[in-house]
A and B are shown apart, each in its own frame.
Chain A
Amino acid sequence: MTAGVSGLTMRLAPVAAAELTEYASLYDWPLLELGAMANERAQSAAPGGMVSYIVDRNINYTNVCVTDCSFCAFYRRPGHAEGYVLSNEQIGAKIEEAKAIGAVQILMQGGHNPYLKLDYYTGLLDYIKTHHPIHVHGFSASELDIIARVHKADLGTVIGELKDAGLDSVPGAGAEILVDDVRDRIAKKKIGTARWLDIHRAVHEQGLLSSATMMFGAGESRKDRVEHMIRVRDLQRETEGFTAFIPWTLQSDGTEMDGAPETTATEYLKTIAISRLVIDNVRNLQVSYVTQGPKVAQVALHFGCNDFGSLMMEENVVSATGTDFIMPRDTLVRFIEEAGFEAVPRYQDYSPIIPDLDWYCGCRVCMDRRDG
């Protein structure tokens, strides 16, 4: 394990083999028993029969990327005719469209674009907060890594500057499978496991919340998935900075991995149920209707999940693989209610939006709202 630019990266202690074997053996359980156990955990973690969702918009500010991940159909190499970087004004217009349909945040993610310096990001955040104030959930760990490397600065400093410019929270993307053997195969140029964890640790230390994802079905073993879950659980024990765990399955169409066998619905439900059991210290577990389809996502609410994710006004990355489940709000609410839950719109920190009750998450937008 090499040290990153920040000097934070340490060698990871191996996960106890006995724990891996024990949790991986849960996959041999009958589906319903596993679901019932996960449900019980979910009800103690997030009681009340509520399922939350967020109204937001994805903004993919650039598709230029040097990381060449084999599972991705969104990126373009630098110099490619289809490469783009959105202007501040284009992003501002997208934010206003999102606000018009009631969005409470934007999710800003993009490629690993080596031509964008730190002042591009701080300038963009400042522009947004000045002209189109909204909660900015943005820049996953691997983007933060390349920003720090391009800027040749310490991670904590970079995250601090982004926070000062208006970054409110950090998405959990780019985790894929947090096992280096797997990462070497599917995302060789992406940051390693230790670095991903270090970046989230640094994010949490700067006082920002983040989520954690897992992309599975890319040829990893069940034990690899369990190891991933244990890594997330262990960092959460240290920092308590993760709001949610978001597992989703590889969609391989149009990627280098095209033709890889699709993860079955049974495997998906088992995996989310097991994540609920392993990660006993993260409150929220999100379904992935974008990759599994709305029917399976609805069923997943009975297998330990308590969040339906985002309405996703715009989603470029997964739809580039041909998977397209963008859902109208009333359909999403109907699916939650028909499953027997109360549908509750939420903010990024998973607190419910309660009409006529002011809510402040501590971000600049909220504080400005509070201070009039």
Chain B
Amino acid sequence: MIFPRKDEGLCVQPQSVELLPIAEKVEAGERISRADAISLFETDDLLAVGGMADLVNRRLNGDRVFYVANQHINPTNVCILNKVCVFCSYGVRPLADDAYTMTLDEVFAEAEAARFSPTREFHIVGGLHPKLPLEYYTDMIRGLKERHPTVHVKALTAVEIAHLARVEGIETRDVLRELLNAGLDAMPGGGAEVFSPAVRSTIADRKLAADEWLQVHREAHELGIPTNCTLLYGHVESAADRVDHMLMLRDLQDETGGFSTFIPLAWHPDNTALGREMGVEGNRTGGVDDLKALAVGRILLDSVPHIKTHWIMVTTKVSQIALSFGVDDLEGTVVLEKVTHTAGADTPVGLDLNEIVELIQDAGKTPVERDSLYNPVHEPVVA
């Protein structure tokens, strides 16, 4: 060998002294502090941050990288928050020319794609429609479960749950109970955006506040519904805002243990009011920032089992690199993505299952196909 080779512990030693105490904590399996996490965002030593995240991930997940054959279904783009969430280009007014709301038959027809494919999960999110009742969603879930009994349904963000509670005049806990009875298996982590009140009032004023978002997830966890959590980054938030957001997620996880996965979401500014106002349409987050959001998430959220990279938002190339930066979940096949693509994403709208497996193997990892609950659906594929 030409070069000395390290086999255990951190694969990369920090170049800057201020990272050394943080690296020691990570190596010792201790929690890092708020100040530590902010330093990790602010350092230029990208590989050191990646190395720490990689160590945390290897301890939790070994060489395994999870993926799911899933299909996104977006039942409506009508959203009463279409003027409120200035970072979004998906939601529209009820009478807008491009407004659509799928009938249940249309939803079931779109879901037929799952019949002749290995799909294990429907991921269902949409706008806050002023008229659609809770029954629309419970009927949808029941209908999907009847037609596709082996497919998990992961549906409705906390924001949609709270909206349905208002529409029906009942408690969010009751909405969750109805959905659970209809067959809901898990809940996605969207709508968290950034919890900081200052950031929220800039990008999503009057959207479900942080404590309400957390309360819906707390209730879901208490009912035994596993959920995901997210962070929308790359707009007006600071490193401290990101860290405070993650710490609130960590606190809830310490309380309930109900989060499966943390998913940082890269903001796409095209066709959004905020993008126009900031003059950043066409911009994308950098690959370095994408990797840091994932890696710091992995280090800070030590009690959340999985970190997922969303290739729709950061490209399949960055998602593959992320597998060396602490990430153990490569999302899924998706089939037909709509939300990020209305904001200018130039990534594919879906991926082939083989393509995902090859990306994982090429990164030197072991692909494990999972369902919504992270159960392996069969033996790991061997190259």
Is there contact, CB below 8 Å, between A264 and B286?
no
Known: A295-B317, A339-B44. 17 other contacts (CB 8 A): A22-B2, A30-B364, A31-B324, A35-B12, A35-B47, A269-B321, A296-B287, A296-B318, A299-B291, A299-B321, A302-B47, A302-B288, A331-B283, A334-B283, A338-B289, A339-B46, A341-B44
Cross-chain contact A299 with B287 (CB below 8 angstroms): yes
Among residues of A, the one whose C-beta sits closest to the C-beta of B289 is A338
- Which A residues lie within 8 Å of B3 (CB)? 26, 37, 277
Task: Give every chain B residue within 8 A of A302 (Cβ-Cβ).
Answer: 46-47, 288
Q: Does B315 contact A (CB under 8 A)?
A: yes
Q: In the complex, A297 Cα to B284 Cα: how many Å?
A: 13
State which of B43, B50, B314, B323 has its C-beta within 8 Å of the C-beta of A295: B314
| Pair B318/A295 contact, Cβ less than 8 Å | yes
Would you call B359 an interface residue if the criterion is a C-beta within 8 Å of the partner chain's C-beta atoms?
A: yes
B-side contacts of A299, CB under 8 Å: 46, 287-288, 291, 318, 321
B324:A30 contact, CB within 8 angstroms: yes
Contact with A along B269-309 (1 / 0, CB 8 A): 00000000000000111111111000000000000000000
Task: Give how many B residues have a beta carbon under 8 Å from the other chain's beta carbons.
Answer: 38
Chain A: residues with Cβ within 8 Å of the partner, total of 37
A33 with B317: CB separation less than 8 A: no
Kindly state whether residue A12 has any CB partner on chain B within 8 Å: no
CA distance A90 to B363 in the complex (A): 47
**Given A264-B362, A296-B317, A340-B46, CB of A32 within 8 Å of CB of B324:** yes
* Complex: A147 Cα to B104 Cα, angstroms: 69
Chain B positions within 8 Å of A26 at CB level: 2-3
B287 in contact with A295 (CB, 8 Å): yes
Given A31-B321, A36-B12, A266-B363, is A295 in contact with B290 using a C-beta cutoff of 8 Å? yes
Q: Is the CB of B47 within 8 A of A30?
A: no
Instruction: Produce 1/0 per residue, B128-171, CB < 8 A to A.
Output: 00000000000000000000000000000000000000000000
State whether A298 touches B363 (Cβ < 8 A).
Answer: no
**Which residue from chain B places its CB closest to the CB of A267 in the assembled complex?**
B362
Q: Is A174 close to B, CB under 8 A?
A: no
Q: Which residues of chain A are near B43, meaning CB under 8 Å?
A: 340
A207 at the interface (CB under 8 A from B): no
Q: For the complex, is A359 an interface residue (Cβ under 8 Å from B)?
A: no
Task: Compute how far the CA of A299 lies from the CA of B44 in the bound complex, rounded to whole angstroms.
Answer: 11
Tell me whether A39 is interfacial, beta carbon within 8 Å. Answer: yes
A-B contact pairs, 20 of them (CB 8 A): A22-B2, A32-B324, A32-B325, A36-B51, A37-B3, A39-B47, A265-B318, A265-B321, A266-B321, A293-B315, A295-B318, A296-B318, A298-B286, A299-B46, A299-B287, A302-B47, A334-B283, A335-B286, A339-B288, A340-B44
Beyond A30-B324, A36-B47, whether A265 also contacts B286 by CB under 8 A is no
Bound-complex Cα distance A264 to B357 (A): 13
Smallest CB–CB gap between B209 and chain A, Å? Answer: 30
Q: Which residues of B contact A341 (CB under 8 A)?
A: 44
